[in-house]
Homo-oligomer: A and B are copies of this chain.
Amino acid sequence: MRYLHHFWLCPFSRKIRVILGEKKLEFELVFEKFWQRREDFLKLNPAGQVPTLIEEKKLILPDSTSIAEYLEEVYPDPKLIGSNPKYRAEVRRLLAWFDLKFFEEVTKPILEEKVFKRFMAMGHPKTEIIRVAKKNISYHLEYISWLVERRNWLVGDDFSFADISAASHISCLDYLDDVPWEDFEIAKTWYVRVKSRPSFRPLLNDRILGLNAPKHYSNLDF
């Protein structure tokens, strides 16, 4: 059996869950409080980070980008990264945009202040940090709108890693009710299309003890 060590509100873990779903690959989730640096987990992945995919006993894959590239190479159906180098370069550019830039400017500060500080008992969230991150999200939603006004999906005709990455980050923030959907109708339409894919359903069914999602979180018609 394939095992994915993950954390519910980790956007990178979510990305791999969706990719496995799109490629119809079976797997079991292992919930990992990665900040506890569990010894057995560090033996699997010395970086101590989720997601970590146990593809087989002797093939342990850490890092969501490496996992995604591996899955695309070994299970190319359906293609999620495009069929020529230029298209793939654009998919990877947007993947980096969301996994590095969006993460640094939006997902990370909001998750750290609102979720991890609570789990790790590290004191109260800093409202100023959350305020800046919530301001940053707007220009990213504008960028998504700009892209989907010109393209069917974020990169072009095909649903790709770029859509999966963007939607994975956004879904974490949506769980915390931190996405100003009312101001971004076009981005919202794109997100509804991602949400309605069967691969995305399991994410929408996640519920975290003591942390309630807003009503619209799993609603496709919000």
Residues of A within 8 A of B (CB): 46-47, 59, 61-63, 65-66, 69-70, 73-74, 85-86, 88-89, 92-93, 95-97, 100-101, 143
Contact = CB atoms under 8 A, between A and B. Distances in A.
Given A62-B96, A92-B69, A47 B101 contact: yes
Contacts of A96: 47, 62-63, 65-66
Given A66-B96, A96-B66, A61 B47 contact: no
Given A47-B97, A47-B101, A97-B47, A65 B88 contact: no
Q: Which of A92, A101, A143 has the most CB of B within 10 A?
A: A92
Nearest to A143: B46
Given A47-B97, A47-B101, A92 B73 contact: no
A92 to B, nearest CB: 4
Contacts of A85: 70, 73-74
Given A73-B85, A88-B73, A93 B63 contact: yes
17 contacts: A46-B143, A47-B96, A47-B97, A47-B101, A59-B86, A59-B89, A62-B93, A63-B92, A63-B97, A65-B92, A66-B95, A69-B69, A69-B89, A69-B92, A70-B85, A73-B88, A74-B85
Nearest to A93: B66
A6 B119 CA distance: 40
Contacts of A95: 66
Given A62-B96, A63-B96, A93-B62, A88 B69 contact: yes
A92 B74 contact: no
Q: Which of A69, A74, A86, A89 has the most CB of B within 10 A?
A: A89
Contact of A65 (B46, B65, B74): B65
A143 B70 CA distance: 24
